[in-house]
């Protein structure tokens, strides 16, 4: 007796070869019916013996395709028979509720790579080869459901050979929406930047571009989510030239190497790091440099790591084929602006930087920078979550009451939309400091709302009144509920949700700057926190930041005010290089500013204290990118050191003074102790302080879990020490993994806090 069952599979099931997989299963078991994508997942309608149907359903969950992720399987049994004659894959149904996860962009798979380098294959050396298991996704999708007509591949009419593969359920390219070949698909063009964008007649643009790179030229390469500025990483002159033209003085460049073996020539690569390098998401992985090999200083000045990635598009594989040296592959943008993704825009904005453009005519619908990640204690710790990761949702242990839009912070902005148990944390938007970036923020939000069919009724935002993301949230002309979330509460909530924990924790937020509930700039904070609220237990003592934002760019200002705080005007007599080199005139102005309180906001930021110590050691008086002074302070620290500076905890444990630390550091410098040793003692001192405060909070509040968050914890030396020392004191320690510890994780935390407040009704 045949029966009929309908099965609805939800999760990451579209664009990942799910329908052909179901087709194969049904055919093998001689079941009849149909399978289709609808707006919530894959719908299977099946007729046959009930025991066969049971086996079929089991097999769906057991052997699902590699890129799929099943969240749920719902079924309705014993339906009226439809008397299907065979099993078919039918066109997508486009009505009803729209919601289905969208696949991330995926690096070229093994099968496609084999074909790419097989002279017998019809796609031999075709730079846009892809299949159901790999290729661009998120960056080419204009709308859902995921069908070729809704992607930028609609510009290309499939040839007969491609169409045959596309329509054959047993082919690896069945319904591979970006399917293409050299007859019908996108093509490359090589353009000479000095000749007003004129295309160079060249039948071998890849070979030509490769030769140009190896001869020291700067070539812009259009990739998956944007453009890269590329040059030979071992050609110091070319790297310098790229820096000068891009106005990027010191920020490390990312590198691309043809294989892990090449990466190993420059860096130490652990097993976990190798797994990240070769994962289909293909992030940039920050790796510890080998000390016995040199690479031009201009690649990554002043840091002890290099950011490496492996090729992820067929074009990359062709350009780096058998290349024994890395290429610089840095985002194709003018300093601080978002990465270019439209050809004309790139020519307009980047002609002064590049010598040549290697373009293709597949449009990028949504730009996505390379993701940046690293390994901490064997676990991934993402620092910039973008291509390959977004728009995959971050699953949370709790369910969001309502759809929320969280607008994030100002720097390293991301936004976050929620639905059920999913947080759709956006790709990296960038620093919301110019119109270009603001535009990609607002357009990004609209795009996510459209493709995930979300209509958020709740808007969460940072308390800083000057953040463009905050202004956006408050200016929205609708009836949404607005929920303001303190910056560091968002950091701690982000870490908790990242680790799927709930309830109260000891929250340690060590950060650059965030607006506090007292109107001052916080950043060295200890809380007792849950998703609902964060009670501030202790903080670094306030100190002035003369010049406000200028004090962030000029760490010498922080060093001077800390010295003044610790030693008074006497500090001017100190026989240390920082003081000897201090511009007395500038100091006089600064001194007047802090004494009269002119343009000198107060801060409790740990990031600013790192800046101060870095400058005090003579490392950096002015920074060229965010966090540079602290990064260089970490880089020089002596690794094997056991001595530390002691902070003073005052006011019943509520206020932490760094004066003693500054005084001890000065004494050491006067006694000829090396900056490497001073940096190490400072790092250990901060780690010890965190443990000491956590210890006190535990005694009083009976909490044993510590959540660590904020940009300062990108400092691995500090993070390692803190984790080790806390565990030695039997604490349970939670650090970031799936979501950045820096401000890229703020929107995710805002959404968690907003949700808790919605549930409690205390908004
Ligand atoms: Zn493939
Ligand atoms: Zn074709
Ligand atoms: Fe922050």
User: What CATH number does residue 8 fall under?
Assistant: 3.30.70.100
- Phi-psi label, residue 254: left if phi above 0, alpha if psi -120 to 50, beta otherwise: beta
Domain assignment present for 421: yes
Position 528 in a domain: no
Mean pLDDT, the chain, whole residue set: 94
Ligand minimally distant from the alpha carbon of residue 116: 1
Report the distance separating Cα 401 and Cα 292, nearest Å: 55
Structure tokens at 446: 């609209």
Question: pLDDT at position 261, please?
Answer: 98
As for how many domains the chain has, the answer is 4
C-alpha 98 – ligand 3 centre gap (Å) = 34
Alpha helices by DSSP H, 29-71: 50-62
In this structure, are 476 and 617 located in the same domain?
A: no
CA distance 758 to 747: 16
Task: Pick the closest to residue 380 from 726, 125, 740 (CA basis).
Answer: 740
What is the DSSP code (8-state) at residue 338? P
Distance CA 447, CA 440 (A): 10
Residue 751: pLDDT above 80?
yes
Average pLDDT over residues 603-620: 97
CA of 165 relative to ligand 2 center, distance in Å = 9
Whether the CB-CB separation of 161 and 169 falls below 8 Å is answered with no
Q: If pLDDT is split at 50, 70 and 90, which confidence band does 332 have?
A: confident
Task: Report percent pLDDT > 70 for the chain.
Answer: 98
Please give the distance, rounded to the nearest whole angstrom, from the Cα atom of residue 511 to the centre of ligand 3. Answer: 5
- Do 689 and 754 lie in one domain? The reply is no
User: Distance from the CA of 443 to the center of ligand 3, in angstroms?
Assistant: 24
| CA 328 / ligand 3 centre spacing (Å) | 29
With respect to residue 267, please indicate whether it lies within any of the assigned structural domains. Answer: yes
pLDDT band with cut points at 50, 70 and 90 for residue 131: very high
The confidence score (pLDDT) of residue 762 equals 84
In a shared domain, residues 436 and 575: no
Please report, for residues 53, 76, 144, 491, 569, the alpha-carbon distance to residue 543 in angstroms, rounded to integers and kept in the order given.
Answer: 70, 65, 51, 22, 16
Quote the ligand 2 centre to 122 CA distance (angstroms).
Answer: 9
| C-alpha to C-alpha distance for 469 and 460, rounded to whole angstroms | 10
Q: Compute CA 188 distance to the chain's CA centroid, rounded to the nearest angstrom.
A: 29
The answer on 722 and 746 residing in a single domain is no
Q: Are residues 198 and 275 in the same domain?
A: yes
Polymer length in residues for the chain: 763
pLDDT surpasses 60 at 95: no
Residue 647's closest CA among 711, 692, 614? 692
Q: Which residue has the tokens 């001017």?
A: 572
598 and 711 part of one domain: yes
Return the ligand number nearest the Cα of 280.
1
The pLDDT of 292-306, averaged and rounded, is: 94
Residue 184 CA to ligand 1 center (angstroms) comes to 18
pLDDT band with cut points at 50, 70 and 90 for residue 99: low
CA of 238 to the centre of ligand 2 (A): 38
Q: Does 218 lie in the same domain as 331?
A: yes
What gap in Å lies between CA 40 and CA 93, rounded to an integer? Answer: 10
Quick one: pLDDT band at residue 20, thresholds 50, 70, 90? confident
Same domain, 730 and 759: no
Q: Which pLDDT score, from 0 to 100, does residue 96 have?
A: 52
Confidence check: pLDDT of 42 > 70: yes
Ligand nearest to the Cα of 746, by number = 3
In a domain, 164, yes or no: no
Compute the average pLDDT of residues 359-376.
Answer: 95
Q: Are 39 and 98 in contact (CB under 8 A)?
A: yes
CA of 723 to the centre of ligand 1 (A): 40
Per-residue tokens: 297? 């200083």
Last residue of a domain, one of 59, 89, 119: 89
174: CA distance to ligand 2 center in Å? Answer: 13
- CB contact set of 724 (below 8 Å; sequence gap of 6+): none
Residue 691 lies in a domain: yes
pLDDT (average), residues 639-654:
92
Alpha-carbon distance of 634 to 714, in angstroms, equals: 10
The residue-averaged pLDDT of 76-104 equals 80
Burial class from Cβ neighbours inside 10 Å (0-12, 13-18, 19+) for residue 475 reads: exposed
Residue 456 pLDDT level (bands cut at 50, 70, 90) = very high
Q: Distance, CA 26 to ligand 2 centroid (Å)?
A: 29
Q: How far apart are CA 572 and CA 587, in angstroms?
A: 10
Question: Looking at the predicted structure, is the pLDDT value of residue 98 above 60?
Answer: no
- Could you tell me if 400 and 487 lie in one domain? yes
Q: Which ligand is nearest to the CA of 312?
A: 1
Mean pLDDT on 695-716: 97
What band does 592 get if pLDDT is binned at 50, 70 and 90? very high
What is the CA(154)–ligand 2 centre distance, in A? Answer: 13
- Check whether 60 has a pLDDT greater than 60: yes
Q: Is 428:226 a contact under the CB 8 Å cutoff?
A: no
Burial of 336: CB neighbours in 10 Å, binned 0-12, 13-18, 19+: middle
555-567 and 606-616 helices cross at what angle (nearest 10)? 90
pLDDT band, residue 169 (cuts 50/70/90): confident
CA of 112 to the centre of ligand 1 (A): 4
**Residue of 605, 411, 608, 611 whose CA lies nearest to 521:** 605
d(CA 558, CA 350): 36
Ligand 2 centroid to 726 CA: how many Å? 59
Q: State the distance from the centre of ligand 3 to the C-alpha of 740, rounded, in angstroms.
A: 10
User: ∠ CA 103-107-113 to the nearest 5 degrees?
Assistant: 130
pLDDT at 97 over 60: no
The answer to the question of residue 665 being in a domain is: yes
Q: What tokens does 539 get?
A: 């903080």
Q: Please report which confidence band the pLDDT of residue 196 belongs to, taking 50, 70 and 90 as the band edges.
A: low
The last residue of a domain, from among 360, 384, 407: 360
Model confidence at 672: pLDDT above 90: yes
DSSP-derived secondary structure for 699-723: HHH---EEEEESGGGG-HHHHHHHH
| Whether the predicted pLDDT of 478 surpasses 90 | no
Mean pLDDT value of segment 630-655? 94
35-39, 136-140, 288-292, 427-431: least confidently modelled range: 35-39
Start-end of H helices in 224-378 = 236-246, 260-264, 271-278, 314-319, 343-350
Which residue carries 């609708």 as its tokens? 478
Q: Which domain holds residue 48?
A: 2-89
Least confident of 89-93, 295-299, 323-327, 402-406: 89-93
Q: CA nearest 703: which of 526, 551, 445?
A: 526
Per-residue model confidence (pLDDT) at position 140 = 95
Same-domain check for residues 277 and 325: yes
- Counting ligands in written order, the one closest to the CA of 411 is 3
Cα 532 to averaged position of ligand 2 atoms, centre (Å):
55
How many CA atoms lie less than 13 Å away from 590 in the CB half-sphere? 26
Q: Which range, of 16-25, 265-274, 293-302, averages the lowest pLDDT?
A: 16-25
- Residue 256 alpha carbon to ligand 2 centre in Å: 29
The domain boundary, picked from 312, 342, 360, lies at 360
CATH number at residue 197: 3.90.870.40
Rounded Cα–Cα distance for residues 723 and 706 (Å): 10
* Number of C-beta neighbours around residue 576 at 10 A: 18
| Start-end of H helices in 568-714 | 577-580, 584-596, 606-616, 628-636, 659-670, 675-701
Tell me if 111 is assigned to some domain.
no
Q: Does the pLDDT at position 554 exceed 80? A: yes
753 Cβ contact list (under 8 Å, min separation 6): 460, 483, 485, 489, 490, 493, 531, 532
Distance 448 CA to ligand 2 centre (A): 31
pTM: 0.93
Strand segments, DSSP code E, in 444-504 are 458-462, 481-485
The answer on 480 and 558 residing in a single domain is: no
- Mean pLDDT in residue range 220-239: 96
DSSP letters spanning 119-167: TTSTTTT-TT--BTTBB--GGGB-SSS--GGGBGGGGSPPPHHHHHHHH
What are the Cα distances from residue 162, in Å, to 114, 156, 177, 256, 706?
18, 11, 11, 31, 55
> Which residues are within 5 Å of ligand 3 (an ion), measured at CB?
511, 514, 743
Instruction: Provide the pLDDT confidence category of residue 165 given band limits of 50, 70 and 90.
Output: very high
pLDDT of residue 158: 97
Q: How far is the CA of 205 from the centre of ligand 2 (A)?
A: 20
Distance (angstroms) between ligand 3 centre and the Cα of 409 equals: 8
Q: Which ligand is nearest to the CA of 179?
A: 2
Q: Is the domain of 328 the same as that of 206?
A: yes
**How far is residue 53's CA from residue 65's CA, in Å, rounded to a whole number?**
19
Would you call 741 helix, strand, or coil by DSSP?
coil
- CB count in 10 Å sphere of residue 120: 6
CA torsion through residues 386, 388, 389, 393, sign: positive
What does the pLDDT average to over 7-13? 90
Which residues, in sequence order, are bridge partners of residue 267? 289
Average confidence (pLDDT) over 455-478: 95
Please report which ligand is nearest the Cα atom of 17. 1
Q: In the chain, how many H helices and how many E strands? A: 23, 31
Ligand 1 centre to CA of 59 (Å) is 23
Q: What is the pLDDT of residue 351?
A: 85
Answer yes or no: is 176 within a domain.
Answer: no
The CATH number linked to 411 is: 3.30.420.360
pLDDT at 641 over 80: yes
* 166 alpha carbon, closest ligand: 2
**127 CA → ligand 3 middle, Å:** 40
Q: pLDDT band at residue 94, thresholds of 50, 70 and 90?
A: low
pLDDT at 640 (0 to 100) = 83
CA angle 404, 409, 414 (to 5 degrees): 65
């Amino acid at each position: 007796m045949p029966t009929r069952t309908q099965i609805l599979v939800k999760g990451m099931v579209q664009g990942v070869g799910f329908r052909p997989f179901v087709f194969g299963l049904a055919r093998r078991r001689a079941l009849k019916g149909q399978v289709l994508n609808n707006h919530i997942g894959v719908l299977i309608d099946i007729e046959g013996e009930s025991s066969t149907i049971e086996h079929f359903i089991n097999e769906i969950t057991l052997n699902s395709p590699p890129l799929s992720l099943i969240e749920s399987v719902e079924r309705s049994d014993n339906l009226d028979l439809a008397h299907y004659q065979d099993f078919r894959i039918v066109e997508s149904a486009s009505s009803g509720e729209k919601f289905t996860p969208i696949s991330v962009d995926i690096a070229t798979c093994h099968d496609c790579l084999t074909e790419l380098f097989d002279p017998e294959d019809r796609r031999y050396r075709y730079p846009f080869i892809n299949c159901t298991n790999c290729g661009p996704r998120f960056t080419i999708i204009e709308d859902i459901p995921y069908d070729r007509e809704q992607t930028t591949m609609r510009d290309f009419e499939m040839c007969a050979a491609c169409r045959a593969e596309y329509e054959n359920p047993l082919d690896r390219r069945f319904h591979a929406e970006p399917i293409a070949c050299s007859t019908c698909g996108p093509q490359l063009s090589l353009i000479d930047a000095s000749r007003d964008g004129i295309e160079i007649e060249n039948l071998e643009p890849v070979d030509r571009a490769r030769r140009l790179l190896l001869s020291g030229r700067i070539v812009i390469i259009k990739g998956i989510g944007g453009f890269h500025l590329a040059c030979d990483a071992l050609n110091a002159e070319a790297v310098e030239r790229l820096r000068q033209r891009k106005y990027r003085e010191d920020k490390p460049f990312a590198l691309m190497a043809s294989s892990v073996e090449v990466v190993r020539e420059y860096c130490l690569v652990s097993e976990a790091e190798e797994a990240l390098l070769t994962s289909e998401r293909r992030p940039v992985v920050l790796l510890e440099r080998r000390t016995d090999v040199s690479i031009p200083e201009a690649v990554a000045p002043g840091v002890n790591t290099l950011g490496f990635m492996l090729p992820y598009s067929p074009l990359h594989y062709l350009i780096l084929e058998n290349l024994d040296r890395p290429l610089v592959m840095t985002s194709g943008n003018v300093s601080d602006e978002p990465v270019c993704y439209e050809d004309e825009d790139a020519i307009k904005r980047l002609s002064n930087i590049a010598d040549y453009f290697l373009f293709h005519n597949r449009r990028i619908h949504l730009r996505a920078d390379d993701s940046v990640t690293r390994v901490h204690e064997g676990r991934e710790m993402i620092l910039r979550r973008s291509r390959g990761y977004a728009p995959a949702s971050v699953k949370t242990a709790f369910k969001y009451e309502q759809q929320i839009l969280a607008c994030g912070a100002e720097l390293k902005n991301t936004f976050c939309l929620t639905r059920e148990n999913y947080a759709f944390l956006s790709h990296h938007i960038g620093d919301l400091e110019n119109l270009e970036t603001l535009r990609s923020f607002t357009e990004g939000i609209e795009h996510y709302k459209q493709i995930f069919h979300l209509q958020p009724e709740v808007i969460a935002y940072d308390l800083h009144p000057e953040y463009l993301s905050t202004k956006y949230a408050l200016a929205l002309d609708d009836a949404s509920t607005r929920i303001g979330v303190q910056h560091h509460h968002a950091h701690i909530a982000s870490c908790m949700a990242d680790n799927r924990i709930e309830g109260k924790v000891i929250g340690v937020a060590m950060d650059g700057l965030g607006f506090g509930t007292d109107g001052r700039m916080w950043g060295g904070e200890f809380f007792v926190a849950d998703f609902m609220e964060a009670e501030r237990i202790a903080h670094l003592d306030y100190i002035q930041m003369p010049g406000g934002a200028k004090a962030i760019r000029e760490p010498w200002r922080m060093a001077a005010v800390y010295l003044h705080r610790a030693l008074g005007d006497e500090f001017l007599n100190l026989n240390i290089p920082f003081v000897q080199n201090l511009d007395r005139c500038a100091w006089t102005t600064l001194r007047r500013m802090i004494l009269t309180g002119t343009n000198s906001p107060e801060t409790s930021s740990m990031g600013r204290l790192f800046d101060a110590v870095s400058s005090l050691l003579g490392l950096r008086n002015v920074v060229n990118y965010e966090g540079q002074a602290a990064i260089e302070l970490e880089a020089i620290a002596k690794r094997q050191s056991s001595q530390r500076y002691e902070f003073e905890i005052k006011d019943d444990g509520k206020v932490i003074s760094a004066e003693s630390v500054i005084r001890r550091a000065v004494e050491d410098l006067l006694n000829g102790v090396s900056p490497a040793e001073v940096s190490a003692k400072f790092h250990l001192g901060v780690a010890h302080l965190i443990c000491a405060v956590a210890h006190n909070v535990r005694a009083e509040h009976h909490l044993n879990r510590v959540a660590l968050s904020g940009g300062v914890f990108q400092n691995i030396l500090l993070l390692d020490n803190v984790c080790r020392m806390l565990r030695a004191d039997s604490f349970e320690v939670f650090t970031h993994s799936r979501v950045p510890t820096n401000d890229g994780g703020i929107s995710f935390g805002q959404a968690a806090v907003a949700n808790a407040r919605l549930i409690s009704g205390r908004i």
